[in-house]
Each structure stands twice: as C-alpha cells, then as structure tokens.
Structure 1
Amino acid sequence: MAHAAAAQDLNILTWEGYAPETITRPFAEASGCNITASYVGSNDDFAAKLAAGGGVYDIITPSSDTVPLLSQAGFVDPIDPAAVENYAGIYPEFSQSPALNLDGITWAVPLIWGSVSLIYRPDMVPGTPDSIAVLFDPAYAGKISMWDDKSAIYWAARYLGYENIFDLTDEQLEAVKAKLIEQKPLVRKYWASAGELTELMANQEVYVSNAWTGLTFKEVNGLNKGFTVAEFNPKEKSEGWMDSMMLVKGTPNQECAMKFISYMQSAEGQCALAASTGYFPVNPGAVAACMDEATKKERQVGNIDFVKSLVMWQQPARLDKYIEVWNAVKAAP
C-alpha cells in the first residue's frame, strides 16, 4: 500500500474528540511526530475508507466489534504488545478480549471505553423516563433523534424484547425493520457525530436521543442555553463499547505509530482523552493522579463490573444482513 504521509507525519482515522490539542501538541513535542486526524461517524466508515485506497492513514481506532472484520480483511498489521509501554496496566478484560486477539495474534490495543445511553430534556419530557420506549413515543414526534448507525437495530431489538440482538432471526429482523420504519416519522434527524447531536439539542430541535454517554451531555450543558439535558440507562440496558488502536497495513510510519500507541497508555494520554471526551479510561493506573475520587467514580475507574451491566457490542453474526436492514430503514419514505 502506497502511503502519502511523510516519515514524521502520523495520520489517524478516529472519532470526534480523540485528537485534541491537549494530546497532539505534547505528543509531537515529545516524539517529533506530528498528528493529522480525520474523523468517522460510524464504525462502518473504517473499512470503507481503507478500501478506497490512497494510503493516507497510519492508525485507526475502531470499536472492538469491528476489529475482527478489519483484521480478516487484511487492512491492518499485527501489534506486538511487548512494544506497547504500560500495556500490562490495561484492564485484562479488554486487552485479552477475543475480538482483539485472534489465533494468538494481537490486532488492536485498547484506547477508551464507554456506554451508549439515553439523553433527554427534563423540562420537555415529564416524569423520569426509564425505558427505550421514549425513543418511540409519538408524544415527542419530530423531537427524537438516533445515531445514524446499524446499532439502531440493537435499540429497536431490545425495545421489542429480543435478547439475542447480535444474532437476530430473519423474522426478528423484519420486526425490527418495521418498528424502525414506523418510528421514522417521529425522528427529527439521524445524527452522524456527537457534535451534530450537540447542535440539535442546543438548538432545541431534539428533546430525546441515544448518545455516547458523557460527551453530548457535557457539551450541551456547558453551553448554558437556559436548559439542561440529563442521561439515563434504560431498564432494557445501555450499550457498551471499547475503542482500540490498530496499525494500518504497510504503514511506513510504524515507529511514530507505536510511539503514539504507547503514549495513549501513559498518564498524559489517558488523562487527556478522558478529559476531552468524558469517556472511561482503559488503563486505571494511568489516571490515578489526574482524577479526584468523584471523577474516578463517574468514569468507572476500577469498576470493571460496570461492563457486565451493559450490552457490550459484538460483531453481528450476519453483518451484511444488519447493514442491509439499516439501509432499508433509511431508504424508506
């Protein structure tokens, strides 16, 4: 794969909020490697952008459920854990995940984790909502939003009471598709990024949505618009995710890439990323000195049991079918 990047330039394909100056500037000063970041709105974007060629990326940061697809497709190179500083400090539940380690080969290094919960306007949604049902309530027609991602299937499936949400039958998928199409007239917009959802909430276009826990909540309330938003975990459970770093196949910038992967396990990297996003660090020891006890509790530091309370993302057994269903929902009138 031909790479356009210069030897000391590191091009990262990542998520919004993952490459703030609080990370890129000190890393460049310490390593001599300058970072340029491009952003995705969905895990499906990683394979699409790598398949398009051009060789412009060195590191990608997909969620763990997407790691097997990317490794099997030949888009990435293996990573030697011994070359990653402070690798032993990562929660073993993440670093030893089968999704990241196939046939004894490590394909990804954990970066950050979190949940996808529900966000709403308490002044516009009466009572205290406790269910996914709020996303399907006609009372909020035109004020509902959802992430533009196949995971909408997971939300509708849980709402319908299905437990095997990553391996739905054809009949169950048809029911999910019908429910999402039925919901569509209630939806103001499917959001593509946390920034877009923040804008929709801040402009009072949306009162309720699923959201990456912490980020939109922090951003909207920080704008002081005269109202606040709140988050909650529905009784049908929130979703959980863990994003990891992978080396794009054939990168000529492997030295810089490995320096960055190690940097993101350091106190500087983990603390800055958690501060930028509001998400949860994967390396609890690294954030010991930068968070007070209240913040540690909020960010689930040391509370790996919280993972067990979530529906952690997995690659669907029939990924193509799920993508087909979600595209059918979006194409429906």
Structure 2
Amino acid sequence: MKYATRMAAATAILMATALPALAAGQLNIYNFGLYTPPDLVKKFEQAYDVKVTVTEYDSNESAIAKIEAGGHGFDIIMPSAYVVPTYIQKGLLLKSEPSSMSNFKNVDPKWVDVTWDSGRHYTVPWVWGTTGVMVNTKVYKGDINTSAIILDPPAELKGKINVVPAMNDVIDMAVEYVGGQQCTTDKAVLKAARDKLIAAKASWASIDYASFEKFIKEDLNASVFWSGAAMRIRAENPGFAYGYPKEGFSLWQDNVAILADAKNVENAKLFLNFIMAPENAALISNYTRYGNAIVGSEKFMDPELPNAPEMNIPAKFKDAAHFQITCPPDVQQIYTKIWTELTK
C-alpha cells in the first residue's frame, strides 16, 4: 500500500474507533525479557508512525520498585495479575478504561470480570500460562508431573537444576508441595516450605533467569519454568518436557497497563487497542508461545500452538491448578523473608 493510502486508511480506522488521531511520537514499553515480539513492535510503528522503545525487567518485584521510585520514563508496564491490585492501590496505573476501546469486544468474556481488575478499567490481557517443571527426559526417566524434581531432586539432576528468581512462583510451589495452599497464614506450613527450599538449594546450580542456550546445550537439565518458555526450549531440544506438578501449580495472566505518569498516553492507548486485534494477539502468542485472551486469534496462530502440551493442562491435573492471587501484606512479608534467606 502506498504511504498516502496507508495514512488515509489508518486515519479512517482511528476515527471509527474513537481513538486519538495518528500521532507521530514515541512509546516506551517496560516488559519482561524476551516477551515483546519484534514483528509486533514493527507493525505498530509502521501503522501509527510511533517509535517504540522496549526496556526489559526480570521480575514483578524489580519492576514495581523502579516504577515507585519515579523518573523512569516508561509509558506501559506488563504486570502479572497478582501484582495489579498493588499497582492500583498505590496509584501507579492510569484508569485508561480499555472497555471503551473498539477492539475490547474481542476479549474473551472469561477474562473481563477478573478479580484483579473487574471490568478492565486499568488493564488489557497480554498472555496467560502456567508455572510448572521443565526437565530433560534424556537424563531423567521418572515422573515429570511433580515438584519433587526441584524440591527433592533425584541424583541424576543434582547440580543441573535452575530455579527462576520469581518469589511467589517458587514459594507457592514449595507451600503446595508440603501440603499447604498459596498465601497460607499457617506458620507451620510456611516453615516447612522454607525448610524444604533451603535443603533443596544445595542441589541446585542456580537461581537465575538462565539463558535458553544453557538448557538447549544441556548445561542445565531441569527448572521451575513457565509453559511458553518451556515450549521454546523443546523446539530446540526435543528431550525437554514440561510437567504439571500434581501437588499443585499456578495459572497466571500477564496484563498491559498505562502508567499514571506516562508521557505518551495517547500512543499508549493506541497500543492497548492494537494488541486486542486477533491478528496482533496471535503475533504475541506465536512469539512467546503462551495463550492469549482474544477471541478469533487462533486462526492467525502457528498451527502447532493450540494443541501443544504446554498449552493444554491434562484433565487429571486440572484440579491441581490454581490461579495465582495477591497474598495479604502479612503473608507477603513472610514470603519476602523466606526469599531473602533463600537467595542470600
């Protein structure tokens, strides 16, 4: 399409959706590492003549600390569901009313009235997935659907295990492994989880966002991991498989929100509406290998994705799944103490 024709078409679309007119400028995105599709960014830049800068972070905790400190210069953040209420309570997000945007009609109804942002006044969905265990089945021949791989490691995996530095994911896994429930206030359970983690650490190689290459080359053979990341590893080394711990595992969703102190608000609103288009949501899933919440995106997704084992919880383990929630402040403080001790 010629430039003039493309400009006219883009303007007509924007007028029809009641969003701001095409505004050349910038958009600064703050997102998890390896989580922002370059082709999505390029498509948005070309459609709206906006230069996008992506800065990456390694955890929800480090991201919110930077946002609270101020002076960051970011417009958009991608918080996980369990931290969204904290962002809202602290006044860190703009009430951008995504439900008034034209593409909001594409959001699957089950992802609209969510507990962390009922009615979606602040956030739109990015992707969803699970937190489980990834293991090299060429090295380990046992049951892959158990947290014992991490918390009571078999001899063949000792020294080759990584644990991602995601506090709630890891502590929730340990709490459920010892028979508790996430965000428990039972001090005996929390102590048992803490003791289990400290004892298991001796068998781990790292607590890190290890590079995919370390798994592909089999320098590491097991990890607490996320479903989409595990699928990306399996594509390069088919010996790796993703397990759903029968003791309990987390479902989660990451979200997109505009920061309260954003400088490029109108461009940020354009981006939120843009990613709710089915073909654009598919670009996100194709890159990250996670599910999305946009109806109609499946026909644009890579054909192997919808039926991939990492995208489909086996029926016998569905009762072990729970959606990750925001722990009360007193419990979160205990989690933080456990995590500090574990990572020191």
Structure 2 length-normalised TM = 0.84
The alignment-based identity, stated in percent, is: 24
1:152-167 matches, within 5 Å, as 152-162=170-180, 164-167=181-184
Q: How many residues are paired up?
A: 313
Do 1:197 and 1:216's aligned partners in 2 also have CA atoms closer than 8 Å?
no
Partner of residue 133, structure 1 = 148
How big is each residue's C-alpha offset from its partner over 1:254-288, in whole Å with a ceiling of 9 and x where there is no partner? Answer: 11001100111112320110010100011122x14
- Report the secondary structure of 2:202's partner residue: helix
- Report the secondary structure of 1:106's partner residue: coil
1:61-140 matches, within 5 Å, as 61-101=78-118, 106-135=121-150, 136-139=152-155, 140=157
- Report the secondary structure of 1:249's partner residue: coil
Partner of residue 290, structure 1 = 300
CA distance in 2, matches of 1:122, 1:241: 26
Partner of residue 334, structure 2 = 321
- Report the secondary structure of 2:286's partner residue: helix
User: Which segment drifts farther, 290-299 or 134-143?
Assistant: 290-299
Q: CA deviation at 1:300?
A: 5.3
Q: CA deviation at 1:122?
A: 0.7
Do 1:119 and 1:211's aligned partners in 2 also have CA atoms closer than 8 Å?
yes
Do 2:106 and 2:277's aligned partners in 1 also have CA atoms closer than 8 Å?
no
1:47 aligns with 2:60: no
Q: CA deviation at 1:293?
A: 6.2
- Report the secondary structure of 2:138's partner residue: coil
Do 1:83 and 1:258's aligned partners in 2 also have CA atoms closer than 8 Å?
no
Q: CA deviation at 1:98?
A: 2.0
Partner of residue 174, structure 1 = 191
Do 1:76 and 1:249's aligned partners in 2 also have CA atoms closer than 8 Å?
yes
1:236 aligns with 2:247: yes
Structure 1 length-normalised TM = 0.86
Change (3 A) 1:261 1:55: same
1:277 aligns with 2:288: yes
User: Which segment drifts farther, 306-315 or 89-98?
Assistant: 306-315
Do 1:61 and 1:244's aligned partners in 2 also have CA atoms closer than 8 Å?
yes
- Report the secondary structure of 2:126's partner residue: strand
CA distance in 2, matches of 1:292, 1:200: 26
Gaps of 5+ in 1: 1-5
Runs of 4+ in 1 over 6 A off after TM superposition: none
CA distance in 1, matches of 2:223, 2:42: 34
CA distance in 2, matches of 1:105, 1:29: 28
Partner of residue 330, structure 1 = 343
Amino acid at match of 1:137: P
Aligned-residue CA RMSD (Å): 2.4
Q: Which of the pair has more CA radius of gyration?
A: 2
Partner of residue 212, structure 2 = 198
Do 2:175 and 2:182's aligned partners in 1 also have CA atoms closer than 8 Å?
yes
